[in-house]
Amino acid sequence: MNRTTHEIEPEEVMAHLDGELQASRASEVAAHIAACKECATIEADLRAVSGQLIQWQVEPASLSIATSIEQSLAKPETTARVKARERKGLIGAWHRLAASQWAWKLGFASVAVLLVGAVYMQRSFNERARELQRATGLSAFARFSQGATATEVSPDVPAMQKLEAQKQLSESLEKDAAPESASPAADRIAAPTPGPMIARTASMNLVIAKLDVARASLEKLLARHHAFASDMTLDQSNDASASLNATLQVPSAELDATLSDLRALGRVSTESQGGEDVSDQHVDLAARLHNARESEERLLDILRTRTGKVSDVLAVEEQISQTRGEIEQMEAQLANLDKRVSYASIKLEMAEEYKAPTGANSSVALRLRNAVVSGYRDAVDSLLALAVFLLSAGPMLLLWAGLLFFPARAIWKRRGSLRAAFSKNAA
């Protein structure tokens, strides 16, 4: 039979014989078979094959199967699950839910999502709290340096006495300076200083990858924290390792946040922090200033009211001049102390990692060596980044893979059966 020219394919003859054709097509094929000798032969062959196959009969099953199935049916747990469908109301719904594997999978997935969400929320909350703390400068040390109340800090007696003495002195100074308030320094002295005065200092050595990038970040950082660099030295004369030394002046309240941001610029090789209590020094200086001013007042009073020899007048004037010099010197010292307390000082040293020079005069071998070193460092960095990523995201990925494996497998299996059904319909 020629398949390309014959209008009925042999498979259709077989399908007709098996009763698998639709009625209209079956009548067409039947008519064709009646007229076509080849197709009639095929039909006869197929009938003969089926007739021969029927000869293969197997013995009936033993009764033991029936017994075991009946025993299984008699077990209450066998029928409990299927009976769950029949139950009405809330209890029935609960039983149907408990009998469903999908419900269990969905339940486990929901619990896992809730756990992940809780962990994420906790981390987010902590992060926000840290940011808030950084923004408001409410770390314990900063609170102490800003002047916390005695109940907030450790309530030791000497500190409280010191606070009280300082307060009394400030009040008396305020009264004295109120009529005149001659200089800005006097205004600052008159300002109340309720807590101990701590001049904070810090130093940090950083190893960075690229100095240009780090410097740009440093400038942004300083602007963000209302800080400034009182001096800065940039050394790029040597290709081996560019470095930057700077002294940063940071508002005391911003010190912790600034240090935290500085750490993010590179790898910290050394770091230290210190604080000097200048309360006594301040009180002493203020008292001396107070006395000097009184002396000056008395001398001026003598000069105005008393008369005497010219040599005496000159001696008083010289004394006044000397006292004025001392007063101005002490005012400057007080101003400096205030500045040290309100602005913390950070000595910062940033240096690039050592790299052999690659100038125009360097040899080919040296440049190749640098390339090897650079390549090795990049490879290690990328491996490190990958390891960090896997360690940070790995558990979460494993969790989700575990959660999604069974639903995905079920969907895949269902898809396979649907594909078969679609192909069946298409055919």
Partner 1 sequence: MQRDEELMMAFQKGSTESFSELFLRYRDPLFGFFRRRLSNRTRAEELTQECFLAVLQGAERWEPRATFRTYLYAIALKLTAAEYRRSQREPQKASEADEVGQPNAAEADLGVRRAIAALDAEHREVVLLREFEGLSYEEIAVALRIPLNTVRSRLFRARMSLKELLDPQPQKLQREKEILSTPAPAIQQLRQEP
Binding residues (CB under 8 A) for partner 1: these are 10-11, 14-15, 18, 20, 45-46, 48-50, 52-62, 64-66, 68-70, 72-73, 78-79, 81-86, 99-101, 416-417, 419-421, 423-424, 427
Q: What distance in Å separates the CA atoms of residue 160 and residue 151, rounded to the nearest whole number?
A: 10
CB nearer partner 1, residue 17 or residue 399? 17
CB nearer partner 1, residue 11 or residue 312? 11
Q: Are 224 and 373 in contact (CB under 8 A)?
A: no
- List strands edge to edge, sheet with 228-235: 228-235, 243-251, 343-352, 198-208, 267-277
Q: CB of 8: closest distance to partner 1 in angstroms? A: 13
| Encoded tokens for 234 | 């940039």
Angle at 421 between CA 415 and CA 426, to 5 degrees: 120
Chain centre to alpha carbon of residue 169: 48
**Widest pairwise Cα distance in the chain:** 161
Q: CB of 107: closest distance to partner 1 in angstroms? A: 17
Q: CB of 108: closest distance to partner 1 in angstroms? A: 18
User: Could you write out the DSSP letters of every residue in 228-269?
Assistant: EEEEEEEE-S-TT--EEEEEEEEEGGGHHHHHHHHHTTSEEE
CB nearer partner 1, residue 14 or residue 287? 14
CB nearer partner 1, residue 85 or residue 210? 85
* Three-state DSSP class for residue 138: coil
Q: What distance in Å separates the CA atoms of residue 304 and residue 318, rounded to the nearest whole number?
A: 15
Q: CB of 69: closest distance to partner 1 in angstroms? A: 5
CB nearer partner 1, residue 37 or residue 304? 37
* Three-state DSSP class for residue 87: coil
CB nearer partner 1, residue 379 or residue 421? 421
Give the CB-side neighbour count of residue 4, counting CA atoms within 13 A. Answer: 0
Q: CB of 23: closest distance to partner 1 in angstroms? A: 16
Q: What distance in Å separates the CA atoms of residue 69 and residue 23, rounded to the nearest whole number?
A: 41
CB nearer partner 1, residue 85 or residue 224? 85
CB nearer partner 1, residue 86 or residue 180? 86
Q: Which of 353, 342, 99 is nearest to 214 (CA)?
A: 353
| Encoded tokens for 424 | 């069946």
Q: CB of 100: closest distance to partner 1 in angstroms? A: 8
Q: What distance in Å separates the CA atoms of residue 402 and residue 113, rounded to the nearest whole number?
A: 12
Q: CB of 75: closest distance to partner 1 in angstroms? A: 10
Angle at 80 between CA 76 and CA 81, to 5 degrees: 145
Q: CB of 419: closest distance to partner 1 in angstroms? A: 8
Q: Are 265 and 211 in contact (CB under 8 A)?
A: no
Q: Which amino acid is present at 281? A: Q
Q: CB of 65: closest distance to partner 1 in angstroms? A: 5
Extended beta strands in 155-212, E state: 198-208
CB nearer partner 1, residue 354 or residue 412? 412
